[in-house]
Amino acid sequence: MFNDLNVVILYDLPVKAVILCGGKGSRLAEETKLTPKPLVRIGGIPIVCHIINYLMKFGINQFYLAVGYLGDEFVKFFSNENQAELQIIFQKKIPEVILIDTGLETMTGGRVKKVVEFSGIKKDFILTYGDGVANIDIQALISFHNRHSKIATISAVRPPARFGVLRIDENNFVKYFKEKLQTDSGWINGGFFILNPDIVNYIDNDESVFEDTPIERLVSEHNLVAFKHEGFWQCMDTLRDKEYLEQLWESGNAPWI
């Protein structure tokens, strides 16, 4: 499937990145019928390339993309025939991208396990999703992980505020209205994990959802710590999310740039 890729595998980087790119993106069906969600464009650039560009700022130059749904589209995009566009997107410093076909129906945990076992990753690595951007300090995240010496570190973020809070009395009169603050919400999974390769021991098979049993086991063993990120984070689950990211890009003030 990936014979036309010209990639070189490097082993001397302090950390590698694995990006989950295999899902069907059904909640963004307007865009993902013919395009896998990580290749949906923000400002003319696939969102996965925004993620790669951001991580490259911290010296990361090797990326394993766990693909599945419409995997051939990744082959086309990262192929030699598309080098001109890639040079523009990555400012002439094209990263090492290794595509791993992890299967159409494989769940997130199964994809992680396949990538680690196939690639032979021996050191702690970054794991993130191919549909979310942030301005997380990756260097601080790695340092935090190293200080705690656990199997996994998760980036904890606050969900973006979207709705105003209403209080309504028994007669349906609004008694209180206030725009909901981001700090009113609890912490959620923001991706951008740092994982020890031993994480594969927590994942049973292709049907394993990384965010379920593996995470629950890590929690029960006190092997998961949270790096709190108070800054920008935004996933691209829906068309509304995409439009919001487009607005940030067009404003010239996209926080992840």
| Cβ-Cβ contacts under 8 Å for 214 (sequence gap 6 or more) | 109, 199, 202, 203, 208
What are the DSSP E strand ranges found in 107-202?
125-129, 132-134, 152-157, 164-168, 174-179, 188-189, 193-195
Q: How many CA atoms lie within 13 A of 118 on its CB side?
A: 16
Q: From first to last of the 257 residues of the chain, give the pLDDT tens digit.
A: 444 433 333 333 447 999 999 999 999 998 999 999 999 999 999 999 999 999 999 999 899 999 999 999 999 999 999 999 999 999 878 999 999 999 999 999 999 999 999 999 999 999 999 999 999 999 999 999 999 999 999 999 988 766 555 565 677 555 555 655 665 568 899 999 999 999 999 999 999 999 999 999 999 999 999 999 999 999 999 999 999 999 999 999 899 98
Look over the chain and give the mean of its residue pLDDT values, rounded to a whole number: 88
Question: Per the structure, how many domains does the chain have?
Answer: 1
Domain that holds residue 47: 16-251
**Amino acid letter, residue 126:** I
Convert 1-33 to b/e letters by CB count within 10 Å (16 or more is b). ebeeeeeeeeeeeebbbbbbbbbbbeebeebbe
What CA–CA distance (Å, rounded) separates 71 from 200?
23
In a domain, 9, yes or no: no
Helix and strand numbers, DSSP H then E, in the chain? 8, 14
Give per-residue pLDDT as tens, 236-252. 999 999 999 999 999 99
What CA–CA distance (Å, rounded) separates 130 from 208?
19
pTM: 0.88
Q: Encoding tokens for residue 9? A: 């595998």
81: left (phi over 0), alpha (psi -120 to 50) or beta: alpha
In a domain, 186, yes or no: yes
What CA–CA distance (Å, rounded) separates 183 from 160?
9
Which residue, chain included where needed, has tokens 């196939």? Answer: 118
In a domain, 90, yes or no: yes
- Using CB atoms within 10 Å of the CB of residue 59, give its burial: 0 to 12 exposed, 13 to 18 middle, 19+ buried: exposed
> Are the C-beta atoms of residues 98 and 121 closer than 8 Å to each other?
no
DSSP conformation letters of 80-126: GGGHHHHHHHTTT---EEEEEE--SS--HHHHHHHHHHHHT--S-EE
Give per-residue pLDDT as tens, 78-133. 999 999 999 999 987 899 999 999 999 999 999 999 999 999 999 999 999 999 99
In a domain, 179, yes or no: yes
> Are the C-beta atoms of residues 86 and 94 closer than 8 Å to each other?
yes
In a domain, 11, yes or no: no
CATH code for the domain in which residue 21 is found: 3.90.550.10
In a domain, 4, yes or no: no
In a domain, 8, yes or no: no
What CA–CA distance (Å, rounded) separates 223 from 31?
38
What CA–CA distance (Å, rounded) separates 119 from 160?
35
> Are the C-beta atoms of residues 126 and 18 closer than 8 Å to each other?
yes
> Phi and psi for 139 in degrees, rounded to 5?
-60, -45
In a domain, 1, yes or no: no
